[in-house]
Structure 1
Amino acid sequence: MNALIQTTTQAFEFKFGYKTNIVVQAPGRVNLIGEHTDYNEGFVLPCAIDYQTVISCHKRSDDLVRVIAVDYDNQQDEFWLDSPIEKHPNYRWANYIRGVVKHLKKYANNIHGVDFTISGNVPQGAGLSSSASLEVAIAKMFQILYDLPLDGNQLALIGQEAENQFVGCNCGIMDQLISALGQTQHALLIDCRSLEARPVSIPKDFAVVIINSNIKRGLVDSEYNTRRQQCEAAAQALGVKALRDASLTELKNIETTLDPIVFKRAHHVITENERTLKAAQALVNGDYKLLSKLMAYSHISMRDDFEITVPAIDYLVEIIQGVIGEQGGVRMTGGGFGGCVVALVPKDKIDSVKTVVSDNYAKNFGFKEDFYVCTPSEGAHAICL
């Protein structure tokens, strides 16, 4: 992170002509288990990772917002808070910022302008929530600069509103919530209905390993929305507010009346909620054999019921499972159709996992993986320079 701080503070002085010592960061995340459960008001078990968006910033006396995106060739955007905030005609990255500011204004009308520079190292397009990291960092920046009475849940909701209503991606709340609330060396068991979050300790002799397949997730937006509609159809057929409220018995009772595809989608969500609650308890109990089994079943369910994995991802899960056995867990994580595999790996097995992946993945699938060894990290906060 120090390199990001240096990059943003130097860019700030160069572009704006004065110095600042105010730095804010918000992390990306990986979800250990609980896939496609968040928008069904269910349970998820993510952790924040030590890859983040970093902002150097300073408040202004007027209502002008000026931002430099260091990672996009120092592209600049500026807009006035006292004018209607519209989408940027050219820069997609700018819409995340404009969207957060527009929705933040609904909760806080006493904000003024800001100069800031942004850089980040959360891999983009890998399902590690680079966009949520950016949204939460922006909201946190305004909260700190203007001493706004907003807690982590509210910052997360502002980020989600911006992405849903301004950027136009119909995401759940998990990504923003873990970026805002993450805790060092812990995952959070999040109830996506109440937004209650319970920390679950991850032992220090385990690492969270993320392997990016580098298969671009071309179908993910349209397929995500289709899955969401199928889940809503199942909830309606069951007469419940969301699939979180349904049991497997209730689902099986109406199986003959449901479209078989809709049944499979609901079967995944209902069983995934059960697995997520059990996985959190398994971590608490140090029962890694059960955790391994639950993560494996989660992957099988994503493959067979939710149908969001691809052969390369299935292969990565298989070869990593062969190395770690029952001493950790591995599964696909994220929206699906490519993206990443997450593994909870004993630290003494990291090199073996890295070797089996580098020796076999590229030669079988023609893509070179990216390998990230992560530490569960703190959520959005200011950094004192």
Structure 2
Amino acid sequence: MNAGTTPTAAEAFAACFAQPPRVVASAPGRVNLLGEHTDYNGGLVLPMALRDLCVNVAIGAGDTPGVIDVYSDIFRDTARRAITEAPSSHWSDYVLGAVKAAATEQVSREGIRIALTANVPLGAGLSSSAALEVATLRALATFYGVEADPVDVALRARSVENDFVGMPCGIMDQFASSVGQPGAALMLDTRTLDHTPAPTLTGHRFVILHSGVSHKLTEDGYATRVAECRAACTALGVEMLSDLGPADLGRIAEIASPLDRRARHIVTENRRVEAGFRALTEGDSATFGRLMVESHASQRDDYEITVPETDLLVETALTEGALGARQTGGGFGGALVVLLATERVEDWSDKMTRAFPATHVVAVT
């Protein structure tokens, strides 16, 4: 929880509802260092919860049984949703879904008021939606006096995204936000939920650079990749693509295009996560940077989720001295994560934002 930002949520609640909230909670966004689109394939990921970039949620008692009154400082908008409502492709669906998952009975009796603020940029691939779900579930647990196990919160948050909002994502974003420690990477097996903290690279920083191209993952591209992976599983006779390894690349090459490329990305990306965790453990920044570059190439050529703007930014980032760079998040725009020696960060950031005025540095961690 980020105490430095919680007063903002409290103030937003008080300004909207003319009374102070009873509970304020927050949850961080995340950047994924390696392991893209592997989570819904039962694979390995290496995310990092972000310092100082979070969603904050304030909660107080409502005045109408069965009704959620919610204000978003992000959208400067209010919504009144009934606990019985279906999703409506509105920003408040994430809040409504979290309330349904955790407090349907209580809100049906009493109603509830919620205000939210955030400094996680939308459309950057940094999991603002997962942070909103986790923060809302944390706040509800405190409000109703229920113990909130971090893994259970992550699973509930993913259910909100999958079953209510309609986004067929894996568990990585919610797990990183709920279980991860801000500023520390986490090696996660998304099938077993086994997870291990990863050390930082001494003398190096990860810079998150927004490309200036926003994305919306509920559009067709993401769901199409999920469907393609399921079709590849059928063609290869496996439950999940992460059941496959390097020894299977030959038979993967024999299935129809583009399913062969989608499966190849998952297999090789899982291996990159394993190698990346070893590199972090050994303090090997050069190897980790190389793996980031390979990951971006696989996203571009095999998974086809990059855009020309992020491809050019990665190329330029490396030319300007980065050890590694890749598009991070669900794809089709968003942010880059870039590995730099600490002493290069300021000069590199200045050169990149001058050369590409639509970009900006979101965070350095």
Fold conserved (TM > 0.5)?
A: yes
Kindly report which structure 2 residues correspond to 1:206-245, keeping only aligned pairs within 5 A, or say none.
Answer: 206-217=204-215, 221-245=219-243
Q: 1:48 corresponds to which residue?
A: 49
Q: 2:346 corresponds to which residue?
A: 351
What is the CA RMSD across the aligned residues, in angstroms?
2.6
The 8 Å contact of residues 69 and 75 in structure 1, kept in 2 or not, is answered as yes
C-alpha distance in structure 2 between counterparts of 1:106 and 1:245, whole Å: 37
Q: Determine whether 1:266 maps to 2:263.
A: yes
C-alpha distance in structure 2 between counterparts of 1:42 and 1:107, whole Å: 36
**Per the alignment, do residues 123 and 111 of structure 1 end up closer, same or farther by CA in structure 2, a change over 3 Å counting?**
farther
Q: 1:79 corresponds to which residue?
A: 82
The code of the aligned residue for 2:86 comes to E
Kindly report which structure 2 residues correspond to 1:102-251, keeping only aligned pairs within 5 A, or say none.
Answer: 102-105=100-103, 113-203=111-201, 205-217=203-215, 221-251=219-249
Q: Determine whether 1:19 maps to 2:20.
A: yes
**Per the alignment, do residues 286 and 68 of structure 1 end up closer, same or farther by CA in structure 2, a change over 3 Å counting?**
same
**Per the alignment, do residues 291 and 144 of structure 1 end up closer, same or farther by CA in structure 2, a change over 3 Å counting?**
same
C-alpha distance in structure 1 between counterparts of 2:229 and 2:144, whole Å: 40
Between the two structures, name the one with larger relative contact order (CA 8 Å, sep ≥ 6).
1
Q: Determine whether 1:373 maps to 2:342.
A: no
C-alpha distance in structure 2 between counterparts of 1:109 and 1:251, whole Å: 51
C-alpha distance in structure 1 between counterparts of 2:242 and 2:206, whole Å: 27
The code of the aligned residue for 2:73 comes to V
C-alpha distance in structure 2 between counterparts of 1:203 and 1:147, whole Å: 39
C-alpha distance in structure 1 between counterparts of 2:136 and 2:193, whole Å: 21
C-alpha distance in structure 2 between counterparts of 1:168 and 1:208, whole Å: 31
The 8 Å contact of residues 168 and 226 in structure 2, kept in 1 or not, is answered as no
Q: 1:378 corresponds to which residue?
A: none
The code of the aligned residue for 1:8 comes to A
Q: 2:299 corresponds to which residue?
A: 302
Q: 1:380 corresponds to which residue?
A: none
C-alpha distance in structure 2 between counterparts of 1:17 and 1:141, whole Å: 19
C-alpha distance in structure 1 between counterparts of 2:161 and 2:218, whole Å: 16
Name the % identity: 36
Match of 1:99 among 97, 100, 122: 97
C-alpha distance in structure 2 between counterparts of 1:93 and 1:217, whole Å: 15
The 8 Å contact of residues 279 and 285 in structure 2, kept in 1 or not, is answered as yes
- Return the offset for 1:292: 1.2
C-alpha distance in structure 2 between counterparts of 1:227 and 1:77, whole Å: 34
The code of the aligned residue for 2:55 comes to T
Kindly report which structure 2 residues correspond to 1:50-65, keeping only aligned pairs within 5 A, or say none.
Answer: 50-59=52-61, 64-65=67-68
Unaligned runs of 5+ in 2: none
Q: 2:272 corresponds to which residue?
A: 275
TM-score by length of 2: 0.90
Unaligned runs of 5+ in 1: 363-367, 376-385
The code of the aligned residue for 1:40 comes to N
The 8 Å contact of residues 306 and 332 in structure 2, kept in 1 or not, is answered as yes
The 8 Å contact of residues 81 and 96 in structure 2, kept in 1 or not, is answered as no
C-alpha distance in structure 2 between counterparts of 1:55 and 1:280, whole Å: 33
**Per the alignment, do residues 127 and 330 of structure 1 end up closer, same or farther by CA in structure 2, a change over 3 Å counting?**
same
Q: 1:240-292: CA deviations, max 9, x gaps?
A: 21011102222313533x11311111111100000001101100110111111
The code of the aligned residue for 2:345 comes to I
**Per the alignment, do residues 359 and 110 of structure 1 end up closer, same or farther by CA in structure 2, a change over 3 Å counting?**
closer
The 8 Å contact of residues 41 and 191 in structure 1, kept in 2 or not, is answered as yes
Q: 1:166-219: CA deviations, max 9, x gaps?
A: 111111111111110121431111111011221112146332211111123378
Q: Determine whether 1:318 maps to 2:295.
A: no
The 8 Å contact of residues 123 and 216 in structure 2, kept in 1 or not, is answered as no
Describe the SS at the equivalent of 1:190.
strand
- Of residues 202-211 and 271-280 in structure 1, the stretch that sits farther from structure 2 once superposed is 202-211
The code of the aligned residue for 2:161 comes to E
**Per the alignment, do residues 26 and 204 of structure 1 end up closer, same or farther by CA in structure 2, a change over 3 Å counting?**
farther
Q: 1:135-157: CA deviations, max 9, x gaps?
A: 11111111222232441121111
Q: 2:33 corresponds to which residue?
A: 32
- Of residues 259-268 and 148-157 in structure 1, the stretch that sits farther from structure 2 once superposed is 148-157
C-alpha distance in structure 1 between counterparts of 2:217 and 2:22, whole Å: 42
The 8 Å contact of residues 22 and 143 in structure 2, kept in 1 or not, is answered as no
**Per the alignment, do residues 253 and 204 of structure 1 end up closer, same or farther by CA in structure 2, a change over 3 Å counting?**
closer
**Per the alignment, do residues 139 and 107 of structure 1 end up closer, same or farther by CA in structure 2, a change over 3 Å counting?**
farther
Q: 1:24-70: CA deviations, max 9, x gaps?
A: 11111110010010110001101111211112223569765432222
Describe the SS at the equivalent of 2:167.
coil
How many residue pairs match? The answer is: 362
The 8 Å contact of residues 68 and 75 in structure 1, kept in 2 or not, is answered as yes
Describe the SS at the equivalent of 2:219.
helix
Q: Determine whether 1:69 maps to 2:69.
A: no
